[in-house]
Amino acid sequence: MTTLMLGEALVDLVCDEPVARLADAPSFAPRFGGTVARTAVAAASRGARVALAGGVGDDEWGGWLRERLEEERVDLTWFRQVAGERTPVAFRTTDPAGDAHVDLYDQSLDLVMDAVRPRIAEAVDACDGVYVSAATWALADDSRERQVAAGALRRARDQGRSIVVALDVAPDRFVTREAARDAADALVTGAALVIARPADAQRVTGTADPAAAAQVLVDRGAALAAVGDHHGAVVRGSGVGTAVAGAGPDARGPGDDAAFAGALLAALELSGWYPAAVAAGLADAVAAAAG
């Protein structure tokens, strides 16, 4: 079993102590970043077979990222370093209230996506499932990244491949609720699993209750829907109904959404795409999100 994961990889420069603003950060430590890339690493660390489709520049940061993804046993068959491109870098800080902040530089990946696009059908055919983030649908219709993701989804549906959707529709990407709901409508129907944070699930379903939101996503066509984070999670669909408590509501920090999604993806893939495995892995996913 192998899951093809579509999304950007970038370098996160992280300040490990709370600061009120970026300029107050005393130092930054480099880590591999990009939500999908980090989810791939989280799934691979649990034994899942994942392949990352995308790429980076041919600069030193791009080489640094590739080496670390290889060390984490992420399949890079459809991952490219492209001449003339610069690898995106994000400066990440957390303020004293526990809210995360990101400043992103060198975002253009058009040449990288052009390098991947001719092989995307081959990549989908070689894998058992496809993982895509809704964040791609926040991009312009003619963006290379969105075109590659849309092509992969069409191929996956045509070939009967299982699809996992990360329903990332945060306001910093989707300015309006209507845009977030349009993205969900394009992705949820027929998905084997939809993974969403409570706030994102609320944006597309209109309900703040995670269990009710998960059920709405199932009613809209997902086989399974898992809504949660480090505070707790629920899963609904395919005869499954499970809830797991996590960190208390006063816990500081945003939690690790990539670790949560990666743990659920690994549970599903390692079971041979057996729905009950998501419920069985829910506690592990919440613990992973809490760090």
150-179 pLDDT tens trace: 999 999 999 999 999 999 998 888 888 999
71 phi and psi angles, rounded to 5 deg? -60, -30
Tokens encoding 132? 């895509």
The secondary structure element, H or E, covering residue 200 is helix 198-205
**Predicted pLDDT at 13:** 93
**Predicted pLDDT at 110:** 66
**Predicted pLDDT at 56:** 87
| Domain ranges (residues) in the chain | 161-291
**Predicted pLDDT at 227:** 97
3-57 pLDDT tens trace: 999 887 889 999 989 999 999 999 999 988 888 999 999 999 999 999 999 888 8
Question: Cα(256)–Cα(45) distance, rounded to whole angstroms?
Answer: 15
**Predicted pLDDT at 106:** 62
Low pLDDT (below 70) residues in the chain: 106-112, 247-254
**Predicted pLDDT at 29:** 93
Question: Cα(167)–Cα(180) distance, rounded to whole angstroms?
Answer: 9
**Predicted pLDDT at 250:** 55
Let me know: does 275 contact 238? Beta carbons within 8 Å: yes
**Predicted pLDDT at 203:** 95
**Predicted pLDDT at 192:** 96
**Predicted pLDDT at 232:** 94
**Predicted pLDDT at 83:** 84
Question: Cα(287)–Cα(291) distance, rounded to whole angstroms?
Answer: 6
Residues 6+ apart with CB under 8 A from 86: 57, 59, 61, 106, 108
**Predicted pLDDT at 9:** 84
The CATH topology of domain 161-291 is UDP-N-acetylmuramoyl-L-alanine:D-glutamate ligase (3.40.1190)
Residues 6+ apart with CB under 8 A from 174: 138, 180, 183, 203
In our burial notation (b when 16+ CB lie closer than 10 A, e otherwise), range 132-166 reads bbbbbbbeeeeebbbbbbbebbebbeeeebbbbbb
